[in-house]
Each structure stands twice: as structure tokens, then as C-alpha cells.
Chains A and B, each alone.
Chain A
Amino acid sequence: MQSKNLLELAGAISSGAVRVVDLTFTLSPDFPVIVLPPEFGQAAPVRIQEISRYDGRGPAWYWNNVMFGEHTGTHFDAPIHWFTGKDLPNNSVDSMPAKDMIAPACVIDCSAGAAQDPDFLLTVPLVEAWEAKHGRIPERNWVLLRTDWSKKGWRDYSNLRDDGAHTPGPNPAVMKWLVEERGIIGFGTETIGTDAGQAGHFEPPYPAHHFLHGAGRYGLQCLCNLDQLPATGAVIVASPLKIQNGSGSPLRVIALVSAN
């Protein structure tokens, strides 16, 4: 590619011919985190502690100390996050190839189904129907599951009941198929995890984590604004913090979308 094309892209972004859509929730203490039984280790919630704010602690400057778990807020899952990916090379956020941080996305709109059923599952026939309309999912593309879940209040968003969370996600067959038959680079959702709320009861449990990370692919979750993306053609920029041997990280996810 010639450098003038790259400069053209920069110009298009600056002129608005290419729209930049922020797919990220604000990292804040009140954003829900994944809930595990209390006897397991827990993700630390986001904490923001003021160091100084133009005051006696630092008269001319404002800054904070922040603390959070790797899997809080809008965040990235690296293959090392799951046991299936633990022995792969370059499986952590600091060692993954930088080129994997930019890739196109196919957005599958399941908002109608998810509105009907909080346990809505993406299946192979649904993706095939999507492909009939938009074409085959190319290799090394993100598949983003649009459910409009990000528009809910926090209680409905986490939707915890006494038998666990009820949020939409993929079924096991479609995850295996997307990874093996379509060679996707990763799978992204609006919900707290890449998997459905009830995915612990699936076979295998947590199929998105199981198949994605077992094949060295990535996860993105707690995305928003997916309703502003076209079904195809958006380019996702998702570069996690370079945490030493990190299993994931909160990050800023943006999408480049052609304005016309």
C-alpha cells in the first residue's frame, strides 16, 4: 500500500468521510462486573482515587490512581484467559501480534431476538441467513453480536436471577463453526461476557471462551454503539493495554465506518 493511501485515510477521518464510532463504555466504579460464586477469586471493581485536584496535594495538576481487574468495563480477552489457550504462543496481551489489533467486522443484528428472549442464542442457521443477505464472513474478521443489550439499565443489563445471569450469546455449535469454518479473528458482544449468561450449563461450558481462545482468537465484551455500525465494512481498532502476561484489559474500542 502506498503511503498516500494512508494519508488519504487520515484525511478522510479528519474530514468526516470516515466516521469514528466509539464502541466503549466509560470505565467507572458503578459498571457491572462479571459475578462468580463468592468462594472464587473476584474481579476487582474499578476504583478511581484522586491524587490531587489543583489543591494542597498538587496545586497545579489533577490526576488519579486507578485500579481495576483485567476484565472490567469494555474489555479484551486474550487466548491465555482460558485453559484451552494457555499453551499457545503469543497468547497474552503483551505478546499478541499488533496487527491483530485492527481488523474488519461483520455485525449480526439480533436485537429483535434478544428483545424477545434474554436467553437468545446465536446459531449456525441464523449466521447462514445473515450470510445469504450480506455475503460469506471473510477470514480474520471480527463477528460482533448486536443485541442492543448496552442500552439497558445496569440491573437489566446484568439480569441476575437466582439461577444465574440471563443474557444473550452464542451457542456452542456456532462458536466452533465461526472459528473453524470461517476463521474469524474474534467475537464481540454488548453483554458482560462473550458467552451467554447461562453458558456455564452448555456443552462445553462457556463455548465462546472455549473455542475462541483454544484457537488463539480474541474476545471483546461490554461493547456499545453497535447499532451505529453497518453489517459489513467497519474496521475495528482494539488495542489492549500491554500488561505483562496479561489475560485481557479494559481498552478503548473504536470502529472506522465509511460515511457514505
Chain B
Amino acid sequence: MIDPVQPPRRKNPLLRTRLPASPPRPRSRTSHGFTRAAAEGRFVLQRCEACGAFAYPAREACPACLSAGLSFVDAPRRGVLLAETTARVPSDVYFRERAPWRIGLVKMDCGPTMVAHLHADCVEGAPVVMSFQLDKSGQAVAFARPEGETPNMADDRQWREMTADPKFRRVLVTNGRSVIGQEAVAALKAAGAKTVFVGVAEPWRPFAGEQLLRGQQGVEVVTLDASDEKSAADLAADIGGKVDILVNTTEYVRPGGLLDRRGTSIARDEIDQAYLGFVNLAQAFGPAMRMRGADGVSSSAAWVNILSVHALANWPAFGAYSASQAACLSLSHCLRAELRPGGVKVMNLFTGPVDTEWFQTVPPPKVAPRAVAQAIVSALRGGLEEIYVGDVAEEIRQRLAANPKALERELDK
């Protein structure tokens, strides 16, 4: 039984803010099979193509039959906790600061025995559910939770190290003019965020949903034009040290590619809004977030981007927009590396066309803005890195993995 996590008190200004430490980082290349799965919230193990045995940890040959044909496949998550131990004075700085820390041995129903971090409600001899989580180093670790819900389950101290739960955290939603932004504000408030700052560019321009946004408890409307370097810097000067989660809801969708557009002004707007907006936000808010990665219950935890799935494969009907999204995707990998020392996760949500004004003539299926907002919250709660929202995004991902050239031809219609 876990005590519910308490809202953090105001900080004692006499105390130094602890700098983030990182858990051990080295992994074998093969082990990143787990990283890949953890990023998406999948549970995989290696399975021998010859004898069918599951193996763990990552191996180059099957421990049962020595076949080299091991592949990562989705595996059953259930197991039984064989034994547990508590590390009280670990030698590693990260774990020493967080001691006591519980780990255990889990006998998986599918065969292997795994060393795993333990949820506090796991008891010896009882069934557990295993997942791979990304730790503060961004590496996959095995994590065992009790089967079924327990009270305040998400408040477990060790679990919160693996996730970016918005509960009691302060969130900046960068663009509150968009439907997605407004839905994100509502979803994050409902998920227990202490404060949601919501950016509004050009506040002299009225917009739909404005009254509702301004009237909400715990929602602070702030002036932010992410595409303006000074605007981002000015806001960060005010609230940069209070942003635990940043949700980049920049949205600038325009149809068209290259040849049927005249001039570069729309392309420049696309770059200004999406790419340079990202750069400005990162330079303004990134350094404080990286520094505050171990700042108590409301430590900085995550940066969320909402990207078009066509960042992965250009959709010529929205070709220049796709390219701006690809630029943001590339930049997100840079940001992930730069925020990693702070233990701050960078999450990318990939969506197909969203049911908003600029995709008006695109036939369904389209993603509901509310579904994007809910995906943001579940990604934060699960500590994920790559999230595909909706059928189109999932399908593009699969088709890209199967045959990128085929997908390129298919998107050209």
C-alpha cells in the first residue's frame, strides 16, 4: 500500500537545488532491442527461431539450443516475483541518492528469469506484470508491477522515476489558440497538473475557445509567440524555472508542396512556426529543464512534441509541411540527447491528419484533437518516447517499416 504522493511544498531558498544524476548507461547494441520496445510501450523478449525458447538478457545465441536466430518479438508480460532485495547503500550516485531501492528476480511465465525494478506493492510469490521502461538515462530497464490495480499505484516512488506523470507538475502548453492546445490543457488539468501555463501568441487577436481557456482554475494564460525569439526568452525569464513538462502544440498546417506555390513566404512561415519555434522554445526553456531534472516531486520531466507522421514519409499534398515536420523530428533527436543528462524525456507523438480546419477537405479517418490530448497524458504517465496516434499514423509506420519505396509511391496520389 503506497502513500499518495503529496503536492510539493514551496522550495526552501536556502537549499541548493540538487543536480540530476544518471543511472548506468552502457548497453550492448543488441540490448537496444528493448530500448526500441520501451520507447513505444511494448514488451518484447528475444525468442529463438529454431526452438521457440524465450531468452533474457539480450543474447547473441539461444541459451537452450545455441542457434543464432534470435529475434525480438512481443512476449507475455506475466511472471511471479521469486525474490526481492533492497539496496540500502548503492555505490552508484543515482541509486545512492534514491536509496533504499527495491529490486527483485521475476520468473516469467514464458521462461526466463529477469532482474527488475520493483513497484512497492510487489510481494514475493505473487504474480507481477513486467514492462520495459526508459530510465533517467533513456535506457530500457525491466520494471515489475503487481497484477491488477493497487491504491495510488502510479504514485510509487520508483515508478515515478520512470515516468513523467503530470500529477502535481506544472505544464506549459505552448499554443492555446489551437483546438489541440485547448484539449491538451483540459486533459492535463484532469490528470492532476498543478498549473497549466498556456501560451497565446498575438493576444490582440481573438480566437475560438478563448473565454473557456481564460476562465479555468489552475490555468494561466501567458503571452508566447514561439516563433519570436524574444517572446520565448521573455516568458522563460518569468516561468522557466517552473516548467516541469513542456507540450509543444505549435500547429502550422498549409497544403501544397513546391511547384504549385509561388514564392517562399508560406514555406518560410512553416519553418518559422514549426522549426524555429522549436529552436526558440528549446533555447529558452531547455537549459532550466535540464538543470531541474531531480528537483523533487515536481522535477522537470518531459518535453512533448506533436508531429505529423509525414515527418517520416513525405505526403506531397502537404509536402512542404511534411518537410517542416521532418526538420522538427530531426531536431527532437538532438534535443533528446541534450536533455538526457537532466533525465528529461523527449516524447514525439505522431499523428495523421487531425480533425482541424486545415485538413477540412481530407477524407476520414482523421484524429480527434481530444485523442491527441489523451495520448499526451498516457505517454507522460507511461514514460514513452514514440507514440502513434490514430490509424493513419500507425499504418504509415508499418508501411514504412515494410517498404519505404512502396510508401513513397503510395503517398503520391
User: A: which residues have CB within 8 A of B?
Assistant: 29-30, 32, 35, 41-42, 44-45, 47-50, 153-155, 157-158, 160-161
User: B: which residues have CB within 8 A of A?
Assistant: 202-206, 223, 225, 227-231, 263, 265-266, 268-269, 272
Which A residues lie within 8 Å of B202 (CB)?
Answer: 30, 32, 45
Q: Which residue of chain B lies nearest to A43 when distances are taken between CB atoms in the complex?
A: B265
Q: Is the CB of B229 within 8 A of A155?
A: no
**A29 touching B203 in the complex, CB below 8 Å, given contacts A41-B265, A42-B269, A44-B265:** no
**9 nearest A-B pairs in the assembled complex, by CB-CB distance:** A154-B204, A155-B204, A29-B228, A158-B204, A32-B204, A49-B229, A41-B265, A160-B206, A160-B205
Which B residues lie within 8 Å of A161 (CB)?
Answer: 206
Q: Is the CB of B203 within 8 A of A47?
A: no
A165 to chain B, nearest CB (A): 11
Which A residues lie within 8 Å of B206 (CB)?
Answer: 155, 160-161
Which B residues lie within 8 Å of A29 (CB)?
Answer: 225, 228, 230-231
B90 to chain A, nearest CB (A): 40
Number of A-B contacts (CB under 8 A): 44
Which A residues lie within 8 Å of B269 (CB)?
Answer: 42, 44
Q: Is the CB of B205 within 8 A of A35?
A: yes
A140 to chain B, nearest CB (A): 35
Q: Is the CB of B265 within 8 A of A42?
A: yes
21 A-B pairs with C-beta separation under 8 A: A29-B225, A29-B230, A29-B231, A30-B202, A30-B223, A30-B225, A32-B202, A32-B204, A32-B205, A41-B263, A42-B269, A44-B269, A45-B225, A47-B229, A48-B230, A49-B229, A153-B204, A155-B203, A155-B206, A158-B205, A160-B205
Which B residues lie within 8 Å of A155 (CB)?
Answer: 203-204, 206
Q: A35-B205, A49-B229, A161-B206 are known contacts; what are 6 more A-B pairs with Cβ within 8 Å?
A: A32-B202, A41-B263, A45-B202, A45-B225, A47-B227, A47-B228
* Bound-complex Cα distance A29 to B231 (A): 8
Q: Which residue of chain A lies nearest to B228 when distances are taken between CB atoms in the complex?
A: A29
* Residue of A49, A153, A157 with most chain B CB atoms under a 10 A cut-off: A49
* Bound-complex Cα distance A154 to B266 (A): 26
B208 to chain A, nearest CB (A): 9
Q: Which residue of chain B lies nearest to A69 when distances are taken between CB atoms in the complex?
A: B265
B12 to chain A, nearest CB (A): 33
Q: Which residue of chain B lies nearest to A31 when distances are taken between CB atoms in the complex?
A: B204
Partner of B204, one of A47, A49, A157: A157
Q: Is the CB of A50 within 8 A of B228?
A: no
* Bound-complex Cα distance A153 to B204 (A): 8
Which B residues lie within 8 Å of A35 (CB)?
Answer: 205
* Bound-complex Cα distance A30 to B234 (A): 12
A86 to chain B, nearest CB (A): 17
Which A residues lie within 8 Å of B204 (CB)?
Answer: 32, 153-155, 157-158, 160
A52 to chain B, nearest CB (A): 14
Partner of B203, one of A44, A50, A154: A154
Which B residues lie within 8 Å of A157 (CB)?
Answer: 204
Q: Which residue of chain B lies nearest to A159 when distances are taken between CB atoms in the complex?
A: B204
Q: Which residue of chain A lies nearest to B268 when distances are taken between CB atoms in the complex?
A: A44
* Bound-complex Cα distance A50 to B280 (A): 12
Q: Which residue of chain B lies nearest to A158 when distances are taken between CB atoms in the complex?
A: B204
Which B residues lie within 8 Å of A48 (CB)?
Answer: 229-230
* Bound-complex Cα distance A158 to B204 (A): 7
* Bound-complex Cα distance A157 to B229 (A): 24
Which A residues lie within 8 Å of B265 (CB)?
Answer: 41-42, 44
B63 to chain A, nearest CB (A): 55
* Bound-complex Cα distance A48 to B308 (A): 29
* Residue of B202, B203, B204, B272 with most chain A CB atoms under a 10 A cut-off: B204
Q: Which residue of chain B lies nearest to A162 when distances are taken between CB atoms in the complex?
A: B206
A83 to chain B, nearest CB (A): 17
* Bound-complex Cα distance A168 to B225 (A): 28
Q: Which residue of chain B lies nearest to A160 when distances are taken between CB atoms in the complex?
A: B206
* Bound-complex Cα distance A154 to B201 (A): 13
* Bound-complex Cα distance A42 to B268 (A): 11
A222 to chain B, nearest CB (A): 13
B367 to chain A, nearest CB (A): 21
Q: Which residue of chain B lies nearest to A39 when distances are taken between CB atoms in the complex?
A: B254
Which A residues lie within 8 Å of B205 (CB)?
Answer: 32, 35, 158, 160
Which A residues lie within 8 Å of B272 (CB)?
Answer: 47
* Bound-complex Cα distance A157 to B204 (A): 8
Which A residues lie within 8 Å of B203 (CB)?
Answer: 154-155
* Bound-complex Cα distance A12 to B228 (A): 42
Q: Which residue of chain B lies nearest to A48 when distances are taken between CB atoms in the complex?
A: B230
A56 to chain B, nearest CB (A): 15
B103 to chain A, nearest CB (A): 46
A250 to chain B, nearest CB (A): 17
Which B residues lie within 8 Å of A47 (CB)?
Answer: 227-229, 272
